[in-house]
Amino acid sequence: MSNIYRLSEANIGQETLVVGFDETVSVPEEWKDWLEEIGFSEGEPCVVVHRTPTGFPMAVRIGVSTFALRKAEAECILVQNK
């Protein structure tokens, strides 16, 4: 397995596994609960499927669902290569 990094840094098509949340990123506490509720929980595979020309929002597939994440949301999710 490779190093742990933020989902915001993943490339299109890169298969990753969620390993947790970056507690150093300043976001509302309820974001972690919301992201877990929609599927971004430890051990779940995810893949970036699209980015806008500016990079964000980005479309991320987790399970059978695809979500658009803003940069701030993607920065608080920690992943590693699958």
- Provide the token pair at 2: 């490779």
81 and 1 Cβ atoms separated by less than 8 Å: yes
The reported pTM is 0.91
Neighbour count for residue 40 (Cβ, 10 Å)? 26
12 and 72 Cβ atoms separated by less than 8 Å: no
Report how far apart, in Å, the C-alpha atoms of 82 and of each of 56, 60, 66 are. Answer: 23, 15, 18
Q: How confident is the model at residue 23 (pLDDT cuts 50, 70, 90)?
A: confident
Neighbour count for residue 81 (Cβ, 10 Å)? 13
Query: Candidates 2.30.30.90, 1.10.10.10, 2.60.120.380, 2.40.340.10; correct CATH number of 5-81?
Result: 2.30.30.90
Write the pLDDT tens digit of every residue in 37-59: 999 999 999 999 999 999 999 99
Average pLDDT, the chain: 93
Q: Give the residue extent of every domain in the chain.
A: 5-81
